[in-house]
Structures are given as structure tokens and as C-alpha cells.
Amino acid sequence: MTSMESLKKAAEATPEKSSWREWIESLVVIVLIAVVIRSFIVAPFVIPSSSMVPTFEVGDYLFVSKFNYGLRVPFTDIQWLKSEAERGDVVVFDYPEDRSKDYIKRIVGVPGDVIEYLNNELYVNGKKMPLKVLGEYSYFMGNHAVDVSGLFEEDLTGVKHHVLRKDYSIRDGKWKVPAGKYFVLGDNRNNSRDSRFWGFVPQEYLVGKAVVIWWSWNDATGSIRWDRLGTLVH
């Protein structure tokens, strides 16, 4: 028997992979890639409440970058290549009072800052953050009711963004931000339960930074908010 005939006979004796086995192997690879991407690179997040209006409406779907503040080992507080967040970042984090829940707010105080909220105005290290009046803003809340608030542009030490405010404050106080923690507020200042109520967000609780709105569904009207698709978060 020639060597060519031997190779041909060996090849014929080797069973081919069944189609179902190839399908399962491909599926396993896809799942592993998806898990890695969601754990360390980017993850989806949906806005369930009106606490961040006008930056986010109820029913906005976001992509959250998970590597801005370091890579966190899933189901632990271990972070690799840890990096501090910056004032003005919109972040998703483990809710300190129930870590099974994810919250989204804006960082207004970084470690060492003195934050004061008085008469519905924000002070950072003794300086009042400038507000520019833009008019009124109406929006749907989570229960489909409509609310109206004053719309302002806030200059948060160089980070300009929109906030909603009414003529009264729901919680005033003064706080010194400890090392390794952050003070967060909702952009809808009269409809947000945030650091004014439950305190600081530890660095290791940060999940990621909100990057872009990729889908937006208005459940109250049963329609797509086409104008919000692709909106970058700032």
C-alpha cells in the first residue's frame, strides 16, 4: 500500500463533525464573546424613571462603557487598572442601599470636594454653579403622568448640561466627599432620590460611564423618539 493510499484510507476512517456539534460549538463561542463584551467593554442600560430628565427620558436605551473606571471582575469589587471618575460624568453604579439594582446619576462631587445644596442651587467647594434659564420643559414620568419644570443650563465647573428645577428644594444639606467616593445628583433635581438622601457612591460600585442613546421608546404614546437615537451623553 502506497503512502498516498494510506492517507486516503485514514481520512475516510475519520468521522466528520456532525452539523449539530458544529452549531453548538459556534453558539458557545458566540456566548463567550458576548459575556466578555458585556462584562468588560460595553453593556446596555434602560432608563426606568424620570430622575435624569432632560438628559434621559423614560424608555431611553443606552450603551454604557465599562472600562472608563477600570475593569471590574464580575460579581466582585476587584478592579483592575482603576481610574477615578470626573466631575460631570454620567455614571451607572450599584445602588448603595441595594446592590442588586443599578442606578444612573451625574457625578457632581469627587473625593475631597465640599458639596452644598441650598435653595435648589448647587455649590461646589463654596462656589455656586451658574444656571442659565432656558424656559419650561414638560415630560412623561414613569407612571405616564405629565410634569412640567423649569429648564436650565448648569455649568458644572466647565461641564455644561441641562437640568430641571422647580421653585423649591426637596433636600438641602452640606457634605464633604470622602476619599474613594463620589457625590451624585439626578439632573431632574426635584424628582431624584440621590446622594442628598442616601450618601456617597464608592469607587468600586461604579459600573460604567453612559456613552450614547441607541434606542428610545415612549411608552406613554407608544412611539419611537427618532430624534434621540444616536445622541451622545454629556
**Domain assignment present for 2:** no
**Domain assignment present for 36:** no
**Domain assignment present for 38:** no
- 23: its cell numbers: 452549531
**Domain assignment present for 1:** no
**Domain assignment present for 28:** no
Q: Give the residues across from 157 on adjacent strands.
A: none
**Domain assignment present for 141:** yes
**Domain assignment present for 17:** no
- 129: its cell numbers: 454653579
Mean pLDDT of 157-168: 96
pLDDT of amino acid 41:
59
Mean pLDDT of 176-182: 97
Which residues contact residue 46 at a Cβ distance below 8 angstroms, ignoring those fewer than 6 apart? 59, 60, 61, 62
pLDDT of amino acid 37:
45
- pLDDT of 16 > 60? The answer is no
Model confidence pLDDT, tens digit, residues 43-54: 889 999 999 999
Q: How far apart are CA 96 and CA 200, in angstroms?
A: 8
Mean pLDDT of 55-71: 91
The share of the chain scoring above pLDDT 70, in percent, equals 82
pLDDT of amino acid 36:
45
Q: Full-prediction pTM beyond 0.75?
A: yes
The torsion angles phi and psi of 19, rounded to 5 degrees, stand at -65, -35
Q: Is 83 helix (H, G, I), strand (E, B) or coil?
A: coil
DSSP class of 145: -
Q: Is 105 labeled as catalytic in the residue annotation?
A: yes
pLDDT of amino acid 107:
98
Mean pLDDT of 193-213: 96
- pLDDT of 79 > 90? The answer is no
Average predicted confidence (pLDDT) for the chain: 87
Q: How many domains does the chain have?
A: 1
Q: What is the CATH number of the domain that holds 133?
A: 2.10.109.10
The region of weakest confidence among 52-56, 80-84, 202-206 is: 80-84
- pLDDT of 10 > 50? The answer is no
pLDDT of amino acid 26:
57
Q: Pick the catalytic residue: 50, 51, 149, 195?
A: 51
pLDDT of amino acid 77:
73
pLDDT of amino acid 33:
47
Q: How far apart are CA 213 and CA 233, in angstroms?
A: 7
Q: Is 65 labeled as catalytic in the residue annotation?
A: no
Mean pLDDT of 176-195: 97
Q: How far apart are CA 228 and CA 226, in angstroms?
A: 5
- pLDDT of 13 > 50? The answer is no
Nearest to 148 by CA among 156, 161, 139, 157: 139
**Domain assignment present for 55:** yes
Q: How far apart are CA 51 and CA 89, in angstroms?
A: 16
Nearest to 151 by CA among 141, 140, 161: 161
Q: Pick the catalytic residue: 50, 66, 105, 195?
A: 105
Nearest to 206 by CA among 50, 114, 95: 95
Give Dmax over CA atoms of the chain in angstroms: 96
Domain of residue 49, residue span:
43-228
Q: Is 5 helix (H, G, I), strand (E, B) or coil?
A: helix
Model confidence pLDDT, tens digit, residues 117-145: 999 999 999 999 999 999 999 999 988 99
Find out whether 183 and 195 touch, Cβ atoms under 8 Å.
yes
- 152: its cell numbers: 436650565
